[in-house]
Structure 1
Amino acid sequence: MSNVFNVGTSVPAQGSGSLNRTVTSTPILLAQFGLAVPQGANRVLLSATVGVRSSLLAPVLIFTILRGNQVIYTSREAVLLSVGQEQTVTVHAIDLNVPVTSNQGYSLTVELENSLLTGAVVTGPVEFSGVSYTL
């Protein structure tokens, strides 16, 4: 039986059209939170939802989840939309056997895979959450 230990959330933008952050070829921070992690066999379930809009051709976005400075998950998402249309991207990850400290910091970034002739804007929503539990 699993036991939930802690929940962390970051919701910098709740609705579509609530942000206007240009995505570049350098990672930009979208959201972050701290999370207490239990001792022993543990896991952290992570989930993120991000609204984006294509601003030039069909961009490919790289979403990255970090624990501290360590990359624990990356997802390559093609935004196959006409310029100006919005799309919601959802990513899920599981962090296994997390080192136990008082808190772990998780963050979500996004970047363009190739900024030549492509472009994207984060428009919202941006929601990032995690649940730590024991097995």
Structure 2
Amino acid sequence: MSNYAMKTILSGDLIEVRTRAVEALKAQGFGILSEIDVQKTLKEKLGLEYEPYLILGACNPNLARQALDTDRDIGLLLPCNVVLRQLEGEVEVSILDPEAMFSLTEEATRRQLEPLAQEARVRLSRALQTLEEAP
């Protein structure tokens, strides 16, 4: 497992888990700004077969504003990416760890963003926990 991802594996299909993930993120103040269907894109652009794979761009507007107020370049690291990948009868849900993401910034900026990164991590972890606890 990577040191920059928070993950869980859930029973079900990608579409059903996507709906649940969006609701769990919403309960933590995150909306979905973008969605990339990697399977469809690779098929259309390169003719490749790929498992169902979605990248959701999740954003908590208040946390994003605070990060941007600290460092306008932080927009290069936003939004928080959530990946849904279909496995056999299961879906892997991965979320980029905000603490790992912000570790790319300069030390002074990282210190300023640390509480914000921790809050985002807690909220995203709660979303994953909600998904794990759902029947």
Report the TM-score, using the length of structure 2 for normalisation. 0.34
Larger relative CO (CA 8 A, sep 6+): 1 or 2? 1
Higher helix share: 2
Higher strand share: 1
